[in-house]
Amino acid sequence: MNAAPVASAPGDPRLLGRDVRRIAFDADRIRARVGELGRTITEAYPDGDLLVLGLLKGSFVFLADLVREIRRPLHVDFLVAASYGDAMISSGNVRMVYDPETELEGKHILLVEDIVDSGRTLNTLVGLLKQRAPRSLEICTLLHKRIAGALAHPVRFVGFDAPHEFLVGYGLDHAENFRHLPYVASLKQVPTD
């Protein structure tokens, strides 16, 4: 794949005056990969009820694009999980702040994440979701930093291996900013708050 064009990012009015260090994945590349993931996921579920379960907030852009590339019946629901403490370093204390109303028992659940970093969020959620007796549970993440230790559950569908930088855009935030960037980028000023 060609190097992402950085030229469009400086001066992007969405950036709060901050500069992009580089665009890690531009909109075209994301679109192409999400299309591939949609086809793979369509083929992976020949039968049964499919519930695409988005982990808010970070997955909202990715999920919206992904479900439009899945060519089979499905339902969509969301849950919110948040780590306590510092926004940059996810602590192990993951709390689920919303339980999906949808019945999970007997369904194929596809949990959609924005990024897997330490893996702690997923490890906790997988344990909680398995208690609901789904027919199957798979994880789809846009980005995977590949630094997580032992994951309680394999991540079956991965968009991209992510660089070990703090990334924003396409749903990913820093302090709730930058979610609406149509690309994934790292920032020049590494946020420390």
Could you give the residue numbers annotated as active site? 117
Q: Could you tell me the CA-to-CA distances from 151 to 82, 89, 146, 183 in Å, in that order?
A: 18, 18, 11, 27
In the range 124-163, which residues lie near ligand IMP by CB under 6 A?
none
Q: Which is nearer to ligand IMP, 38 or 121 (CB)?
A: 121
Shortest Å distance, C-beta 43 to ligand IMP: 26
* Binding region for ligand IMP (CB under 6 A) out of 30-38, 67-75, 99-107, 167-175: 167-175
CA–CA distance, 138 with 23 (Å, rounded to integer): 29
Shortest Å distance, C-beta 143 to Mg ion: 12
Task: Return the residue of 29, 107, 108, 120 that touches ligand IMP, per CB under 6 A.
Answer: 120
Query: CB 162: neighbour CB atoms within 10 A?
Result: 23
Residue with tokens 């590339």: 69
- Report the partner that residue 113 touches, choosing among ligand IMP, Mg ion, none (CB closer than 5 to 8 A by kind): ligand IMP
Q: Which is nearer to ligand IMP, 67 or 121 (CB)?
A: 121
**Contact call for residue 112 and ligand IMP (CB under 6 A):** no
**Contact call for residue 166 and ligand IMP (CB under 6 A):** yes
In the range 10-29, which residues lie near ligand IMP by CB under 6 A?
none
100 burial (CB, 10 Å; 0-12 / 13-18 / 19+) is: middle
Q: Residues 47, 73: contact at Cβ < 8 Å?
A: no
CA–CA distance, 77 with 23 (Å, rounded to integer): 30
In the range 13-52, which residues lie near Mg ion by CB under 5 A?
none
CA–CA distance, 40 with 45 (Å, rounded to integer): 9
Q: Are strands 20-25 and 184-187 parallel, antiparallel or unpaired?
A: antiparallel
Q: Which is nearer to ligand IMP, 48 or 127 (CB)?
A: 127
Query: CB 82: neighbour CB atoms within 10 A?
Result: 16
Q: Per-residue contact track with Mg ion, 47 to 76, x per CB under 5 A?
A: -----------x------------------
- Would you tell me which residues interact with Mg ion (CB under 5 A)? 58
- Would you tell me which residues interact with ligand IMP (CB under 6 A)? 58, 90, 113-121, 166-168, 172
